[in-house]
Each structure stands twice: as structure tokens, then as C-alpha cells.
Amino acid sequence: MKEQEILRVEDLKKYFKIKRNALEKLAPKEQKYIHAVDGISFTVGEKEVLGFVGESGCGKSTMSRTILRLIEPTAGNIYFNGKDITAMRRHELRRNRRYMQMIFQDPFGSLNPRRTVSETLRQTIRIHRLVNTVEEEDNLIWKTLEEVELNPPDLYWDKYPASLSGGQQQRVSIGRVLILRPKFVIADEPVSMLDVSVRIGVLKLLLKIKEKYNISFIYITHDLSTARYVCDRIAIMYLGKIVEIAPTEEILQNPVHPYTNALLTAVPDIDPNIQVHDVPIKGFVPVIPGESAVCRFYPRCPYSMEKCGEEEPELLEYSKGHFVACFLKR
């Protein structure tokens, strides 16, 4: 198992400083932090798709940016292919970035509007010095466009992002990542801005290139139904922590944590014969707290016990491969 591991994250933390005004700075008042990501550990295997599901503000995007060191972690280690990314110097990190890529949510916002499709891909080739001659560049661009199913490539070669549909734009973004032959890709809500009818096409493309080029994925989303379709395992996040992690069908059929349960009940269903249920939890997601050694879900949990407000539950194995951080189900 160990040698198949592509990514290992250990106790990753990212705290953001809360800004103080001048008076507060003068007063001997303590600097406060927001614990956006607060001690997350997991591994991603070769060709595995690990999904992170949670509501806005649960820290899933901060986590993904921290893993690629687009923002610096506060604490923790990230091993990519056995090497610790957090300890890498700048140039070394740059060399390795080629193999760790990211696909963003908004395809239009992440493509340069003044570059054509081929120029966008050519830039990536040049930055990473993938080939030597213009002819080789052209070949590579052509093949990549075919790979992401923008056929025939001629048709898209000189197009600007604005004249492509959302699904086509996202395919260009995927092509830009794929051209580097990455080992590991973080897809941050890659289909949430696309129409239902084209979503599946883009997800199928991700699964296809995963198989073909042995890419491991972290798939970040708030949508459990697309996560079910692409992920091998799903981790549920709440306020900077993983509350439950298990193989996809296991977590959908036998959710253990009350928060996972609430999320699953809330997902609307297409079957008109299903009776709608109210979610069993109340209130809103609070602002991520600072130091706290209690269960973070405790104030909203319908099953909370005394213990939940006193201690913090650890992420422990509930059944094989199924980990839960909850005192209730022990």
C-alpha cells in the first residue's frame, strides 16, 4: 500500500490572522486567529479520486491551495511522492509544480480572455519547456485538444475563451493541466458552474484521463451527487476538520456522523415519489472558531451529549476503511 501512495498530508493547519485596529494593537491584547484548516490528515493513492465535500466556509478551498503551497501552511507536512513539499526551496517547488496541478471552478475566469486556445496551451508548454521546436509545440497542442475531446482541433485552435461554451472552456483548462502529464490534480468544483447536461461529459473526461495517464485526483465540491459519480472515497469536512471519511458507496449507504446524515438528507432528489424531509439540524454554519477543544458540530447536533461539549472527538476507524469523528457511535 505504501508505495502506491502519491500524496500524504499530515496534520495540516492553516490559520489566518484576524486584523486588529490600531487601538487593539496598542492594547496588550492577544492576536486572534481563524482556524480555516485545523489538523487534517489523509492520503491519496495512485489513480485514486478522493472527494472533499462540505459547505461554503468549511475550509476545503483553503486546504487545496495549501496543499499546492499556493498559500503557506501554518503547520503540518505534505508529502508528494515521498518528498516533503513544505520543506522544498522555491526552485525545487517549481520543478515539482509541473506534476501537481489544479483545475478551478470558473473556467472563464481562469483562462486569459486575450489568448486563443492554442496560445493558452503554448504558453504552458513554453513555461515548462516541454518541447524544443514550434512544430513539436503544434503537435502537442493538437494531440491535447483531441485528448480533451475538442474535435476537430482546427475548429478551436484560434478561438478565444469568450466564444466557447462553459463546458468547452473547462475542457481547455483540463487540456492545459493534462499537457504537463501531472501525477496529481486538484479539481476545485470543476463542474458546478456548468449546465447539468454537459456536467457528466466533463466528469467522464476527468475519469478517462485519470485511467489513461495514472493521475490521482482530489475532487472538491459541495455537491454529493457528482462526488458519488467520480470519487473512490469521500471525506466530509466541517469547519476545518474531517468529520467522516469512507469509500463512496459506504458513506452514502451507511453515513455515521450526524452532519453527514444531514447533508445527505438535504440533497434534493429527482424522483417525484420521494417524500421530502426536513434536515435534522438547525441554525447556520458559525464562523470558524479559534482555539476550541470540543466537537465543532456540537452546537447544531441533534444528538449532542455532555461529553461533546467537553472533549474533541478523534477521527477513529468505525468499520474497515470508514473513519468517523463522533462520540456517539463508539
292 contributes a contact to another protein by CB under 8 A: no
Dmax of the chain from CA atoms?
69
Instruction: Say whether residue 269 binds another protein (CB under 8 A).
Output: yes
Is the distance from CB of 269 to CB of 69 less than 8 angstroms? no
Cis amide prior to 152 (ω within 30 degrees) = yes
CA dihedral 271→272→274→278, nearest 10 degrees, is 110
Residues between 6 and 65 that touch another protein (CB under 8 A): 55-56
Contacts 24+ apart (CB under 8 A), 145-148: 145/117, 145/121, 145/175, 147/175, 147/178, 147/209, 148/172, 148/174, 148/175, 148/178, 148/205, 148/209
Residue 233 beta carbon to another protein: minimum distance, rounded to whole angstroms: 15
Q: How far is the CB of 197 from another protein (least distance, A)?
A: 4
- Please tell me whether residue 197 binds another protein under the rule CB under 8 A: yes
Closest contact distance (angstroms) between CB of 183 and another protein is 27
Q: Cα–Cα distance between 79 and 38 in angstroms, integer?
A: 18
Q: Select the residue interacting with another protein from 30, 276, 306, 330 (CB under 8 A).
A: 276
196 touches another protein by CB under 8 A: yes
Of 178, 171, 167, the residue nearest 117 (C-alpha): 171
Using CB under 8 A as the binding rule, whether residue 198 contacts another protein is answered as yes
List 31, 139, 151, 165, residue binding another protein (CB under 8 A):
165
Query: Applying CB under 8 A, which part among 27-35, 61-69, 171-179, 277-285 lies near another protein?
Result: 277-285
Chain residues in the site for another protein (CB under 8 A): 55-56, 165, 167-168, 195-201, 204, 222-226, 228-229, 249, 252, 262-274, 276, 278-279, 281, 284-285
